[in-house]
Amino acid sequence: MTNNFISDETPIVGKLSIISMKGCEAITARIDEYLKAFRHCENIDTYVTHVNCPRFGTGEGKCVIDETVRGHDVYIICDVFNYGVTYKMYGVENHMSPDDHFQDLKRIIAAMGGKARRVTVVMPMLYEGRQHRRSGRESLDAALMLQELVNMGVANIITFDAHDPRISNAIPLSGFDDVQATYQMIKALVRNVPDISMNKFDTIVISPDEGGMSRCMYYSSVLKLDLGMFYKRRDYSRIVNGKNPIVAHEYLGRDVNGMDVIIVDDMISSGESVIDVATNLKKQGAKRIFVFASFGLFCNGLDCFDNAFKNGIVDKIFTTNLIYRNPELANREWYCEVDMSKYMSLLIDTLNHDETISKLLDPVNKINALVDKLENK
């Protein structure tokens, strides 16, 4: 196996070290295996540098790095939404919150003591990414987080499918890469639904809200499919759980009667919104409904999706393995996991050689080849 995005003559920036934060051990191990396969290294057992972030009985913590990282090109794999990791505080078992994970991330950077040659944080779902703009007297958490990491010496931040990519304006002189899972999503759909047709008369791409139109426009253009959109009609007279409640989803687009529908969003939180959209489309005569979401949080459990599948509202839901997944998802007939470990290893390997990742970020040719192969089949 080789990495076709780098040249054999390209020098390596520094000795590669990958640090897995708590809860990221599985995907980091897969990345490590790919990297060893790319580099055909027989004398290197692993690129993973072991760290430990123990907690005291009061809940306070620290980081200990077990190996030197002096002069290394360090990549920290960080999932701040992994609530499956726990720790004890005053004898009580606590699930780690995004704030807890972010503090551990800063502890790891601090433990390096500025000795690493370059530090890159791979944070698939951006910490506080949903608090990306100010509306009234409120905090601007995502911008503060990015600035804090840069001030600590982080050279580059890699995230996937940012809720609003304009958040990079908070650190205009530092590296910020917003990566999409477009090709991997389409490949997973083709593999799991072999009778899918990428013909604009059979399939349509739908955005569940106006904020997601840019990512849906990309899917629509590379697949040459028509595009529709829902807009959320909200009740601005009241606030529920920190936001104005949605009164209704209104559809704008061509007739979907008898068509397969691909709904594309960055995340599934409670799932109420996407199920409401899918129900609306089914009432309009949609044939099958497939949901692409980079991050499947499923904050309110899986029951609503079980019922939606049972009632024929949703056929398949595709989410990546970039963040923690509810273990029960593996048993769901409607769920398909999209593996991103090889893609992440290609990004890390290419950056470690100081090569451009432009071709990795724009997989149009690979998508076109996949669609051509599907049509010929």
Tens digit of each residue's pLDDT (9 = 90 or more) over 277-325? 999 999 999 999 999 999 999 999 999 999 999 999 999 999 999 999 9
What's the pLDDT score for residue 10?
A: 74
How far apart are the C-alpha atoms of 196 and 199, rounded to whole Å?
A: 9
Q: Which residue has the tokens 């809940």?
A: 59
The 3-class secondary structure across 267-295, one letter per residue, is EECCCHHHHHHHHHHHHCCCCCEEEEEEE
Residues of the chain falling short of pLDDT 50? none
What's the pLDDT score for residue 42?
A: 67
Q: Which of 259, 145, 249 is nearest to 207 (CA)?
A: 249
Q: Give residue 133's identity as a one-letter amino acid code.
A: R
What's the pLDDT score for residue 11?
A: 75
How far apart are the C-alpha atoms of 193 and 204, rounded to whole Å?
A: 15
Angle CA 218–224–228, to nearest 5: 65
Judged by DSSP in three states, 363 sits in: coil
What's the pLDDT score for residue 47?
A: 95
What's the pLDDT score for residue 79?
A: 97
Tell me the C-alpha to C-alpha distance, in Å, between residue 311 and each of 23, 249, 272, 307, 314.
Answer: 34, 20, 15, 6, 8
How far apart are the C-alpha atoms of 290 and 316, rounded to whole Å?
A: 5
Residue 318 · residue 293 · CB < 8 Å: yes
What's the pLDDT score for residue 119?
A: 97
